[in-house]
Homo-oligomer: A and B are copies of this chain.
Amino acid sequence: MPDVQGEEMRSSFILTRVGIEGVKRPVIIRRPGREVTLVPTFDISVDLPAEQKGSHMSRHVEVIHRAVDHAVRDENDSLEKLVERVARDLLRSHEYAAYADVKLSADYFLQKESPDGRNVTENYRIFARAKVRKDDEIPWRAIGVEVSGMSACPCAMENVRVLLKRELREKDIDEERLKILDMIPVPTHNQKNRTFLEIGMAGPMDIEADELISLIESNLSSPTYEILKRKGEAELVLEAHRKPKFVEDVVRDIIDGFLDRYRNLPDEAVLHVKSVSEESIHKHDAFAERISDLGELRDKTRYMKV
């Protein structure tokens, strides 16, 4: 059969990426002690030199099939290794390519204990990416998570406190009794917050997605839980109101926690943190974001903390 893709081109342009998007395939990741089935969506590509007409698209899906079959047979696997293996196989099977880029995203679940002591299954998103160059020993890999939690606004809380005191004074409540308002959290707007964190670098990277999830959850106003009985719900609301945070605070505190936890990562590693609050008082969302290498972040803290 004619191989039109393989035709030589007289004059053309390099293409940065040629590949397929939106391929879903169930994958089993075997960790010590448990086995996780994920249903990731893959976006994979290679580059295309100027003198080649087309990429052999069917090979892209074949590589995914091989990688997934391989993952099912092997133990001690991880998503980062899976995307790296797909990227390396892409380079082998597209002999004209110099570069392969593989991304996946999937729903991810963890067993957690709720504030009132119940076992609940919580839902997250997980991301992995590998970029491999033919002439380069060291692949670039990234792992990321998206966590839904709660943010409570510190500004509205202080202004509500002022309004409440004003109202109570008008009802002739004396200042002594008003002091109670400084001892308790007062109402503010709170809402669903989605926070994304991704860390990427060349070379081996020993980072657990579950730790990244914990890092985000501990730096929101509070995590959320799928099951909360009345007491647990009230305690969670109080926890969030005792840790009110702007999206700006969420991003900064996560960066701070990340630098503290992962001191051994190289300065060249790139951290991306984005937090989105689905504002309960507006129709739009508010967000804060930082993309930076760790070197810049570390200098900054050192400088600032002096």
Contacts and interface: CB of A to CB of B under 8 A. Distances in A.
Interface of A: 1-5, 10-26, 37, 39, 45, 48, 50, 53-55, 57-58, 61-62, 65, 68, 107, 109, 119-123, 148, 150, 152, 154-156, 158-160, 162-164, 168, 171, 173, 176-178, 180-181, 183-192, 222, 224-231, 233-238, 240-241, 246-249, 251-252, 255-256, 276, 278-292, 297, 300-301, 304-305
B25 A248 contact: no
A279 B224 CA distance: 9
Contact of A291 (B16, B154, B192): B16
A170 to B, nearest CB: 12
Contacts of A62: 227
Contact of A1 (B26, B39, B109, B159): B159
Contact of A21 (B39, B173, B276, B305): B276
A300 B21 CA distance: 28
Contacts of A276: 21
B159 A26 contact: no
Top 3 A-B pairs, shortest CB-CB distance: A159-B234, A4-B155, A11-B304
Q: Is the interface of A mostly helix, strand, loop or mixed?
A: mixed
Given A15-B288, A148-B283, A190-B190, 15 more contacts: A3-B230, A4-B158, A11-B301, A13-B252, A13-B301, A15-B248, A15-B289, A15-B290, A18-B247, A18-B287, A18-B288, A20-B285, A61-B282, A155-B233, A181-B184
Contacts of A285: 20-22
B61 A284 contact: yes
A173 B181 CA distance: 12
A168 B184 contact: yes
Copies in the complex: 4
A251 B21 CA distance: 16
Contacts of A226: 23, 61, 65, 282-284
18 contacts: A4-B154, A12-B252, A16-B291, A20-B284, A26-B121, A37-B37, A39-B39, A39-B107, A61-B227, A150-B280, A156-B234, A159-B234, A164-B184, A164-B238, A178-B180, A191-B278, A228-B282, A278-B278
Contact of A17 (B121, B256, B287): B287
A119 B65 CA distance: 9
Contacts of A12: 252, 304
A63 to B, nearest CB: 10
Given A15-B289, A107-B39, A237 B188 contact: yes
Contact of A24 (B16, B107, B152, B290): B107
A289 to B, nearest CB: 4
A231 B3 CA distance: 10
B20 A287 contact: yes
A269 to B, nearest CB: 16
